[in-house]
């Protein structure tokens, strides 16, 4: 009996060991791999910008004022010096006046006039303006000094009239600022500040105009 037990015991132990089998354990993660994943996660968190609402600045909350610049009138003559003489109107037969007549200086400063003609005889070298009805006015506004040189004709010397304004052929009568004279002429001057003008002979005598000068370089008559 003892011999049988001794033979069965090794078989029992062998069967017991084979029934357990090897234990299945999860392989440990590689340490270097874990460290790499952790570092990547940190870098990703650092690269992600923190989005915050920007604080309103003083400039953004205040309304900016637009700087308004006054547009310059393109019709204003502001530069240059221009001289009107008899050469600026066409010649006609004696006692034949130019009516509804347009003329210019250097094709820059333009005018419209009535009852104008070149002077003849003792009035050669002048623009003759018929008494009481003759005039001419500028078709552009002028910023500068205008000067009219009129021939003296003794007791029959005409006294001119001047009108200025913001419309062509203005109707507001103004005074000349400066009047001087020499041996044979009287010079009438006026500063214009971006205005049209109309020069008229409303007197009882014919007016003989030697010249009219427009000088835009002057800011005063001195």
Lowest mean pLDDT among 28-42, 72-86, 166-180: 28-42
Lowest mean pLDDT among 20-24, 119-123, 135-139: 20-24
How do residues 94-112 score in pLDDT, each as one tens digit? Answer: 889 999 999 999 999 999 9
Q: Specify the pLDDT at position 73.
A: 63
Collapsing DSSP to helix, strand or coil, 6 comes out as: helix
Q: Rounded CA gap, 42 and 123, in Å? A: 105
How do residues 134-175 score in pLDDT, each as one tens digit? Answer: 999 999 999 999 999 999 999 999 999 999 999 999 999 999
Decide if pLDDT at 7 tops 80. Answer: no
Q: Rounded CA gap, 183 and 200, in Å? A: 23
How do residues 48-77 score in pLDDT, each as one tens digit? Answer: 555 555 555 555 444 545 555 545 666 799
Where do the domains of the chain lie, and which CATH numbers do they carry? Answer: 76-215 (2.60.120.260)
Structure tokens, 166? 């913001």
Q: Rounded CA gap, 2 and 71, in Å? A: 132
* Lookup result for tokens 């009535």: 114
pLDDT band, residue 22 (cuts 50/70/90): very low
How do residues 175-200 score in pLDDT, each as one tens digit? Answer: 999 999 988 999 999 999 999 999 99
Decide if pLDDT at 46 tops 80. Answer: no
**Which has more confidence, 3 or 218?**
218
Q: Specify the pLDDT at position 25.
A: 47
pLDDT band, residue 220 (cuts 50/70/90): confident
187, 179 Cβ separation under 8 angstroms = yes
Decide if pLDDT at 207 tops 90. Answer: yes
């Amino acid at each position: 009996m003892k011999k049988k037990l001794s033979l069965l015991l090794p078989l029992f132990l062998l069967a017991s060991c084979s029934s357990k089998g090897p234990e299945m354990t999860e392989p440990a993660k590689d340490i270097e791999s874990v460290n790499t994943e952790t570092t990547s996660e940190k870098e990703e968190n650092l690269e992600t910008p923190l989005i915050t609402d920007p604080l309103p600045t003083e400039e953004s909350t205040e309304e900016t004022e637009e700087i308004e610049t006054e547009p310059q009138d393109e019709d204003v003559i502001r530069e240059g010096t221009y001289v009107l003489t008899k050469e600026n109107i066409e010649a006609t037969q004696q006692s034949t006046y130019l009516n509804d007549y347009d003329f210019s200086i250097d094709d820059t400063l333009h005018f419209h006039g009535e009852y104008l003609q070149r002077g003849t005889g003792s009035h050669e070298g002048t623009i003759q303006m018929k008494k009481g009805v003759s005039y001419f006015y500028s078709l552009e506004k002028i910023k500068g000094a205008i000067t009219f040189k009129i021939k003296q004709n003794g007791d029959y010397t005409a006294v001119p009239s001047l009108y200025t304004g913001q419309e062509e052929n203005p109707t507001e009568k103004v005074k000349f600022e400066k009047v001087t004279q020499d041996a044979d002429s009287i010079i009438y001057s006026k500063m214009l500040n971006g205005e049209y003008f109309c020069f008229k002979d409303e007197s009882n005598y014919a007016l003989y105009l030697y010249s009219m000068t427009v000088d835009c370089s002057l800011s005063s008559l001195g």
